[in-house]
Amino acid sequence: MNYVFGPVPSRRLGQSLGIDTIPLKTCNWNCVYCQLGRTVPLTNDRREYVPAEEILLEAEQALKSHMTGEIDWVTFVGSGEPTLHGRIGWLIRQIKTMTDKPIAVITNGSLLYLPEVRDELMVADAILPTLDAGTAMLYRKINRPHPQATFERLVDGLIAFREEYRGKLWVEVMLVRGLNDTPQALEDIAQILQRVKPDAVHINLPTRPPAETWVQPTDDEGLMRAISILGNTAEVVHPAEGGFDLSGYENVMDAIIGIITRHPMRQDELERTLIRLSPGQVKEALTALKNSGRAQIVDRLGVHFWSAAPSVYPDEKHSQRTKSPSSSQVKKRGIS
């Protein structure tokens, strides 16, 4: 399996079968908290990064190989921004014909200003876009977007989508201490949310390895503040614990790489996932993983995380606070 992974336990979507439409870290944002590391380079091109037919074939196999009850949602999520895949709409419609499981798309929402992207997502059952800031300045600090992915386009896209979309719109706010957990920053976000009118607001914390070393989740006080300011549809989404399904892969190594490329794991999660192996085999698998050159251990938030080797995590010295993308980080071509 190259494009389909899991099911993995999801904070919002139970056991979620992941569909990954793009190569690692293909994104038009470079969020300071991104669990997949930095986006180098940023890209805003919509195209068929991998053949849609191949993704569909894997999705069909995965759906057939799991019994009723093993999958709660089919979720487009993974190595970057899924709506950058130019045929995501076709994929959603095809998968709809194969299963009665609900389909979700976890997106940064930056391309919803495009009528064709709104149209492509219309048949999904839930769309989970991100809104971490209520001003253009804070948006640039937290999400560090491609120059064409402007704050105005993000907000306009969310409002336009809400007007047309009949499914569940769950807006996610990732709370970073000292950045968007202040009373003013939360009031600014609340004002935009009043215009978007989502069905729910999911308050999330960076609990996976953030791209930048200095990123910290907000504290209890910040969470309480967020709940009281962001309105009565706001709820804190706690990290999910549970089993990761490694079936469908040729071997354990490929299975682990398949998961940690999209979903970095703590050492204890990884050990729990390998529970069917003996302690000796687990140790052997982790040593092989480390020596394979396909994985790396990242230290963040006082914890060791396993992530894919190509992901870019700067060390303390190189982790800059709020750097805007330089011209060398930005691909020349893009949606204008």
Binding site for ligand SF4 (CB under 6 A): 27, 29-31, 34, 36, 39, 80-81, 108
Nearer to ligand SF4, 44 or 273 (CB): 44
Min separation Cβ 35 and ligand SF4, Å? 7
Min separation Cβ 64 and ligand SF4, Å? 29
Nearer to ligand SF4, 77 or 226 (CB): 77
Helical ranges in 17-164 per DSSP H: 52-65, 88-98, 115-121, 136-143, 151-164
Min separation Cβ 132 and ligand SF4, Å? 9
The helix (H) or strand (E) run that includes residue 267 is helix 267-273
Q: What SS3 class is residue 328?
A: helix
Encoded tokens for 20: 């990954």
Nearer to ligand SF4, 79 or 273 (CB): 79
* Class of residue 242 by CB neighbours under 10 A (exposed 0-12, middle 13-18, buried 19+): middle
Min separation Cβ 85 and ligand SF4, Å? 13
Min separation Cβ 144 and ligand SF4, Å? 8
Nearer to ligand SF4, 181 or 285 (CB): 181
Q: What SS3 class is residue 38?
A: strand
- At residue 141, φ and ψ (nearest 5 deg) are -70, -40
Min separation Cβ 25 and ligand SF4, Å? 7
Nearer to ligand SF4, 29 or 313 (CB): 29
33, 209 in Cβ contact below 8 A? no
- At residue 44, φ and ψ (nearest 5 deg) are -120, 15
Min separation Cβ 248 and ligand SF4, Å? 23
Nearer to ligand SF4, 75 or 286 (CB): 75
- What span, in angstroms and rounded, lies between the C-alpha atoms of 325 and 282? 41
Least Cα distance to 312 among 109, 27, 4 occurs for 27
Cα 147 from chain centre: 20
Nearer to ligand SF4, 36 or 95 (CB): 36
Rg (CA), the chain: 19
